[in-house]
Amino acid sequence: MASENPTASEYIKHHLQNLTFGQHPDGSWGIAETSKQAADMGFWAIHLDTMGFSIGLGILFLAMFRFAAKKASVATPTGLQNFVELMVEFVDNSVKESFHGKSKVIAPLALTIFVWIFLMNLMDLVPIDFIPRIATDVFGIEYFKIVPTTDINAALGMSLSVFFLIIFYSISIKGVGGFMKELTLQPFNTPIMIPFNFVLEVVGLLAKPVSLALRLFGNLYAGELIFILIALLPWGVQWALSVPWAIFHILVITLQAFIFMMLTIVYLSMAHEEH
Amino acid sequence: MNLNLTLIGQAISFAIFVWFCMKFVWPPVIAALEERSKKIADGLEAANRASRDLELAQEQADQILRESKDNAAEIIEQANKRANQMIDEAKEQVIADGKRLREAAQAEIEQDVMRAKEALRAQVSVLAFAGAEKILGATIDEKAHSEIVEQLAKEL
């Protein structure tokens, strides 16, 4: 913690600050000591906690699924394999329902999005002070945020990747001409309305990744903020609020992972289809 | 809350995870699932086929049974007919034999009667001559009267 007895606003700010590594304005490299220092680093800085936890969780996801995939056989599945097959089947059905094109990428992409986001969201249910306290007291790390999806960079990183896939598929399926036609001749199919159409469609196109990222980030950020606020209450009554909120949050984190996955599938299927 | 290099780092790790998932996780699981569903479908089809075969076999067995029953009935009927025929034939044979025997017996009897009559006739003429000789006390011209006596004997 920044000080022995932080005020409420200090406590909240402290919990919302990532562990940032970057170049200080004076030219030296290092970890930001305060949130102002982190902000001064500008774009060329990296959130070590976000990266660490998201990559760790991603590897956990892939290791688990790879372990099950290796053993996957016709025989009656048990335990982990059952769970993995359930997930794969669930995602496969979701993809088949909304996506009618042929693509080898969409389904694994959807599975990765769903499980990875779910795991990252799940970190929200770890008691809010638990890991940051260990990080501070044992490793001497000042700031530590363990929920990668409450970092806008993580959400936007995924949604921008999806956005590039939308553009890639739009162009590879419809060609550059077809894609431009879609952007300029809708919704009003007359040459006079081309500028108007273009503005409308580009805004619509850009809104996809932004809304995708902000929805996930907003939900998780708000959720974590409420956990932080609950943590400010006297310790005896915290459970009365944090337990219901955590239970409700189980729904939220699953739902947000599912929404991100479904919207990705829908956007990509829209990119595949001619209007 | 700052946008920074993390964004790109996240995008790169996301891409790597998706690639790994696409390469090493998705295909084996989906292959196993498809193979299993195919196996289940095959199993169901085999079960269907087996029950259809069973039905067919049952039908065939029923038909064979029915045919053999019909055959048996026919054979029994034929045997009955044959038996009746044999009995009839035997009866006829017996009747014919009896008739023939009776006829033979009758013919023999008639022959015997004839023979007896002949003998009697011969005797009668001798007796008649003797009687007449005795009655008349004289010799009768055998030659003249034998014609009359023979006529008499014939009337016997």
Which of A 118-177 lie inside 8 A of B, CB atoms?
148, 151-154, 156-158, 160-161
Percent of chain B with pLDDT over 90: 59
In a domain, A237, yes or no: yes
| From A57-71, B91-105, B134-148, the region with the lowest mean pLDDT | B134-148
Q: Per the domain annotation, does A32 fall within a domain?
A: no
Question: Stretch A238-260: mean pLDDT, rounded?
Answer: 92
pLDDT higher than threshold 90 for residue A105 = no
Most confident segment among A3-12, A14-23, A51-60: A51-60
Q: How confident is the model at residue A3 (pLDDT cuts 50, 70, 90)?
A: very low
What is the distance between the alpha carbons of residues A107 and A105, in angstroms, rounded to a whole number? Answer: 6
Domain with A198 in it:
51-272
What average pLDDT does the segment B6-27 reach?
91
Three-state DSSP state, B1: coil
For the ranges A21-30, B85-94, B101-110, the lowest mean pLDDT is seen at A21-30
Residue B2 — pLDDT band, cuts 50, 70, 90? Answer: confident
pLDDT tens figures, B112-151: 999 998 888 888 878 887 887 777 766 666 666 777 777 7
Kindly report the three-state secondary structure assignment for every residue of B65-85: HHHHHHHHHHHHHHHHHHHHH
Handedness of CA B100, B102, B105, B109 (dihedral sign): negative
For this complex, say whether ipTM is above 0.90: no
Among A159, A197, A219, A242, which one carries the catalytic annotation?
A219
Residue A36 lies inside a defined structural domain of this protein: no
Q: Burial-class residue A194 by CB neighbours within 10 Å (0-12, 13-18, 19+).
A: middle
In a domain, A74, yes or no: yes
| Contacts with B, A 225-254, CB within 8 Å | none
Residue A203 belongs to some domain of the structure: yes
Residue A134 located in a structural domain: yes
Question: Which of A38, A88, A160 lies nearest to residue B2, judging by beta carbons?
Answer: A38
Distance CA A122, CA A104 (A): 28
- For the segment A28-38, what is each residue's pLDDT rounded down to a tens digit? 788 887 777 77
Write out the two tokens for A113: 């999005």
Query: Is pLDDT of B89 > 70?
Result: yes
Contact A16 B25 (CB under 8 A): no
Rounded to whole angstroms, how far apart are CA atoms A80 and A121? 21
Going by pLDDT thresholds of 50, 70 and 90, the confidence category of residue B1 is: low
CA distance B34 to A176: 37
Work out the average pLDDT over B4-33.
Answer: 90
Closest by CA to A104, choosing from B154, B88, B25, is: B25
- Residue A35 maps to a domain: no
d(CA A19, CA B2): 12
Rounded mean pLDDT, A206-222 = 93
Confidence (pTM)? 0.73
A94 is catalytic: no
Q: How far apart are CA A123 and CA A116, in angstroms?
A: 11
Predicted confidence at residue A211, as pLDDT, reads 93
The number of folded domains in chain A is 1
Q: Which of B3, B10, B32 sits opposite A54 (nearest CB)?
A: B10
Q: What's the DSSP call for residue B5?
A: T
What percentage of chain A has pLDDT greater than the value 90? Answer: 35
